[in-house]
Amino acid sequence: MHVKSMLLGFLMHQSMTGYELKKLFSISFSFFSGLSYGSIYPALKKMEQEGLITMQLQVQDGAPNRKVYTITDEGKKAFLHALKAPFTHERGKHPFLTRLFFFAYLTPEERIATATTFLESIQDMQRKLETARPEIEARADRFQYLCFESGLRLIQDLIQNVTDVVTTLEEESMHAEPGCKLGGAP
């Protein structure tokens, strides 16, 4: 789903400020999507220009003014159209697999270090997901929670796959003959 559709989906529930949308995005899609916070505000501006949302400026005393975004009838139609549209599995970017393919050009130590660093980064992502669990459980509807659980399982599977790679690399490194460059570049 494109950032525009995700934001419209959030606004289907209620009007929100950009900050509220960012917060909701951070506990929902930020772990599983390549979309960034930086894409939210430009998308809101464009959606307003397209008549999919309206923005109301709420003036506050002693605090910054708030921009509150509300979905329009046209925005609701666009969201439902996007939600119902057929889709296929999108090929994701897998930078680890791309690098792993060329590991022959690294030393055994470099291979292990690169794979271990990636493993630690996805383990950190899993910890952040688990930290967000109580808030997600408290706020998510049934389908949003199913999304969270499915995404968490994807991360856990990735951790297991990369752990298997690290284990294989470590075993190969331990069994290498001195002076032998394991799987060296052609």
Per residue in 26-39, pLDDT tens? Answer: 767 666 665 666 78
Q: What would the two tokens of residue 47 be?
A: 């959606």
41 and 76 inside one domain: yes
Q: What would the two tokens of residue 89 be?
A: 């599995």
Cα separation of 169 and 111, whole Å? 7
101 and 170 inside one domain: yes
Report pLDDT for 73.
97
Looking at 84, 106, 137, which one is the last position of a domain?
84
**The 16-17 sheet, strands edge to edge:** 16-17, 66-71, 53-58
Rounded mean pLDDT, 109-113: 95
18 and 69 inside one domain: yes
Reported as a single tens digit per residue, the pLDDT across 165-183 is: 999 999 998 886 554 455 5
Q: Which of 128, 161, 163, 166 is nearest to 32 (CA)?
A: 128
What SS3 state is found at 16?
A: strand
Cα separation of 86 and 97, whole Å? 28
Exposure string for 84-114, b = 16+ CB within 10 A, e = fewer: eeeeeeeeeeeebeeebeebeebebeebbeb
Q: What would the two tokens of residue 73 be?
A: 């009838």
59 and 107 inside one domain: no
Rounded mean pLDDT, 78-100: 84
Reported as a single tens digit per residue, the pLDDT across 17-28 is: 988 888 887 767
CA count, 13 A, side-chain hemisphere, 82: 16
Residue 161 has pLDDT above 80, yes or no: yes
- Residue 185, number of CB atoms within 10 A of its CB: 9
Report pLDDT for 29.
66
Please give the residue range of the domain that contains residue 110.
95-174
| pTM, 2 dp | 0.70
The count of structural domains within the chain is: 2
19 and 54 inside one domain: yes
77 and 100 inside one domain: no
Q: Say which CATH number the domain at 24 has.
A: 1.10.10.10
Report pLDDT for 165.
97
More confident residue, 94 or 134: 134
**Domain membership flag for residue 183:** no
Using alpha carbons only, give the angle 179, 180, 183 rounded to the nearest 5 degrees.
Answer: 150
100 and 76 inside one domain: no
